[in-house]
Amino acid sequence: MLDTIARLLNEAGVTAWELSEVRTQGWEFYFIRHALDQNRVKDVSHITVKVFQLIEDGKFLGSASCEIAPTADETEIRAQIADLAYRATLVKNRPYTLRAPEADEPAPEEPIDLAAIARDFLRTVRELPETAGEDINSYEIFVSAKTRRFMSSTGIDRRESYPSSMLEVVVNARREGHEIELYRNYKSGTCDVEGLRKDLLRTMQYGRDRLLAKPTPALEKADVLFTARDAVSLYDYFADRLNAAMVYRKLSDWELGKPVAETFHGDRPTVTALRELPNSSMNRRFDGEGATIRDAVLLEDGVAKNYLGARMFAAYLGLEQAFSPTNLAASGGTRSEEELRAGAYLEVVEFSDFQVDSVTGDLFGEIRLAYWHDGETVTPVTGGSLSGSMLELAGEMYFTRESAQYDNWRIPAATLLKGVTVTGAA
């Protein structure tokens, strides 16, 4: 199908084009409690076409994209290409060149055993120790093999396959007539049995503690410890501000070779793009524009080292070797988790919502479950919120040497922000 579309694009005489297909073949299982409610086999393809047109004697380069159905005939495809060619003339961007072909190694021919992946998920959930107070309400298992192909008018033609899985789980906790639900969504390549079991057991504990929680006290300014997946947003902040689009649009003022904070009183973060991260669902050989993904340091000991991102903005910044990373890792912690837990602090493990604005640096979260460590006792608390700005907090953050992985991000297992504003529960 892609070869046919490529031929029709060439016949249409557009300035340039990019063409991609992602085919997903997999299995889906839906359980209520531990009883199978339904299952399905999935085999779908998504084909995307992007057309580029030089306009006003090459002064501008416009583009437009759309999805083409795998069942479309040549007449339909020609009509969609003509529409894209017209729509591209309505967009006025500075001209830039598309990516050229690179030396490419043959894609590894490693079979993806969907049955084994599904068994691992199923066994892990079913073998969890449930009680009258905490159990699994329902869960859904999605396992798939994804096959990607990317082509361009510049001569790129690349293919790859990789596993991609997802598990959705609803955990119930009940006590003295009260009941709550905790939702979890786990994405990965295959199934990380030990990591999944550990997190689900922790979730059951959170459910028990949530039913015992007291209102969050008004702490005003407090040290806040992040030990769950929401901590990823703190490190997304660093990666986002080193994205070529953010820099070109002047939404980030970080300059290469300079520290990203005025002063560092705490740990200095290092953020690295990784070609491969064990069990990530994003272990890809090339990005969405055909560029080779490789290991690259974005931030080293708090100093900006590289901008990465999409071709258009990378080209505007003169970055010929840039690409869009799919796996990232943060490191640089100098302490153990035990050392980081010294003193009084609020450990937040469940948010109703947690956001970090990469442009302003503002962070905000509504607390669903936290633990107030006063130095002597540990009290589960709920309600209230926390807020602050990474523009200030990044200069005095501490994180562990030990790490934790959340799909395509490997981050420190615990991260401490000092002087966060904590509003108590009303």
Which is it for strands 157-175 and 134-152: parallel, antiparallel or unpaired? antiparallel
pLDDT of residue 345: 96
Tokens of 375: 């130095």
Element (H, E) at 27: strand 16-32
Can you tell me whether residue 392 is helix, strand or coil? helix
State percent of the chain over pLDDT 90. 92
Residue 67: burial class (beta carbons within 10 Å; 0-12, 13-18, 19+): exposed
Can you tell me whether residue 342 is helix, strand or coil? coil
pLDDT tens digits, residue range 412-422? 999 999 999 99
CATH topology for the 2-208 domain: PmbA/TldD fold (3.30.2290)
Q: Estimate the share of the chain in helix, then strand, then coil, as percent rounded to the nearest 5.
A: 20, 45, 35
pLDDT tens digits, residue range 96-128? 999 999 887 766 677 899 999 999 999 999 999
Can you tell me whether residue 5 is helix, strand or coil? helix
pLDDT tens digits, residue range 341-353? 999 999 999 999 9
Query: Could you tell me the residue ranges of all domains in the chain?
Result: 2-208, 215-426
324, 294 Cβ separation under 8 angstroms:
no
Q: Taking all residues of the chain, what is their mean pLDDT, rounded to a whole number?
A: 95
Please give the Cα distance from 121 to 116 (Å, whole number). Answer: 9
